Amino acid sequence: MTRPLAIISGAGVAGLAAAWWLDRAGWRTLSIERAEHLRGNGYMLGLSGLGYETACRMGIHDRLAAEAYEINENVYLDSRGREILRLRYRDFLKGLPYLAVRRTTLVKALQDVLPASATLRFSRQIAGFVDHGASVTVTLDNGEELACDLLIGADGARSALRRQLFGPDGTCLQPLGYYFAVYDLEAPKEFDTDFVSYAEPGHLAEYYSLNDGRLAAMHVWRDAAPGLEQQTDKAGLLATVCAQSHPKVRHLTDQLRVSGARPVIDSLTMIDLPRWSSGRVMLLGDAAHCLTLVSGQGAGMALASAEMLAEALAGSASVEEALARHEARLRPVTTRLQARSRKMAAVFIPQSRFAFHLRNIVMRNMPRSWLGHYFTRSLRSEIELARGNG
């Protein structure tokens, strides 16, 4: 009997993981990726909880661990260079499994374990589809028509398939009122800390030391104005954001400008949809429920969601039933993570001077064991929730 076919729009974390897990459930997959090759945004991401467990079950743990970054501590400095806080990861994680890898590394590891039943096509997009009930006809942007049993939109937070399925984004896009920028640059000689954060009211600049003498930089700042991500002079925008920052931050931003590199800038926008599927068409990963970087769980949930989808498909009488079961299992976890991210965003980047100083006093005086306890308890509760014990 021929295996059923799923067409997946997007070959990012969710799409590639789905191709792997659907093979396990007896499916073939065809991934349609807009980019010319697998995108490798170099930002650093932490894998823990459900996503970490899924990565282990996929057999990619050792590969990720070999390329992971050991973070000993994260030092927080204010705009005058005074130490606000020092977080030792060992105290904070309390032995909880955690990997800090670059997105590039995760995507490459997922690509390298793709099964023979998975086909990837680059530089293509889905122009439209028709769900006939018993199958779906997909039309690619070159006019080619393909039939499949399931269509998955794993094309990220700005998903085109989501708009084709449910219409204009409208209220499902929920900007949190922050922007982020990510880029790499050559590390200055004096930069010898693992992970340093320069914090000021309304703005946080973080730098991870990479193994190749470079820095992975990330900025998050508060700005409720829409559309900043459309600006063409991205380095110039960042220089404006950093105008009052610590001289080192300004120096690094100048360095970025001189290098001509273009940072990736986008708003922190959650995706909140009343449902993730219709008929035989579904959304997966950020396309369905973008949690934003504040949750620190987006990639992990994309991996876990792909695994849960395969389990639901293997254990259901129909595709529609599987999609309903998948959503019923995953939604409580994503709802909890989104609610926490909304609350945490204001703690992560306090806007006013008063809130900033208050946050710092609390963080400085809070026993480290409380922070660690909060973090580990949150991760464990999400694992239990996904197991149906929450």
Contacting positions for ligand FAD (CB under 6 A): 9-15, 32-35, 39, 43, 45-46, 51, 103, 125, 154-156, 160, 180, 182, 218, 285-287, 293, 296-300, 302
Whose Cβ is closer to ligand FAD: residue 180's or residue 221's? 180
Q: How far is the CB of 16 from ligand FAD (least distance, A)?
A: 8
Q: How far is the CB of 54 from ligand FAD (least distance, A)?
A: 11
Please choose, from the candidates 328, 288, 333, the residue with its C-alpha nearest in 3D space to the C-alpha of residue 53: 333
Whose Cβ is closer to ligand FAD: residue 156's or residue 350's? 156
Q: How far is the CB of 317 from ligand FAD (least distance, A)?
A: 28
Whose Cβ is closer to ligand FAD: residue 13's or residue 310's? 13
Q: What angle do CA 167, 169, 175 make, to 5 degrees?
A: 170
| DSSP state for residue 220 in the 8-state scheme | E
Which residues are 138's β-sheet partners? 129, 146
Whose Cβ is closer to ligand FAD: residue 125's or residue 360's? 125
Can you tell me whether residue 117 is helix, strand or coil? coil
Do the beta carbons of residue 268 and residue 180 sit within 8 Å?
yes
Q: How far is the CB of 298 from ligand FAD (least distance, A)?
A: 2
Q: How far apart are CA 367 and CA 373, in angstroms?
A: 10
Residues 6+ apart with CB under 8 A from 251: 188
Whose Cβ is closer to ligand FAD: residue 93's or residue 357's? 93
Q: How far is the CB of 2 from ligand FAD (least distance, A)?
A: 25
Whose Cβ is closer to ligand FAD: residue 38's or residue 322's? 38
Do the beta carbons of residue 329 and residue 386 sit within 8 Å?
yes
Q: How far is the CB of 280 from ligand FAD (least distance, A)?
A: 18
Residues 6+ apart with CB under 8 A from 143: 127
| DSSP state for residue 70 in the 8-state scheme | P
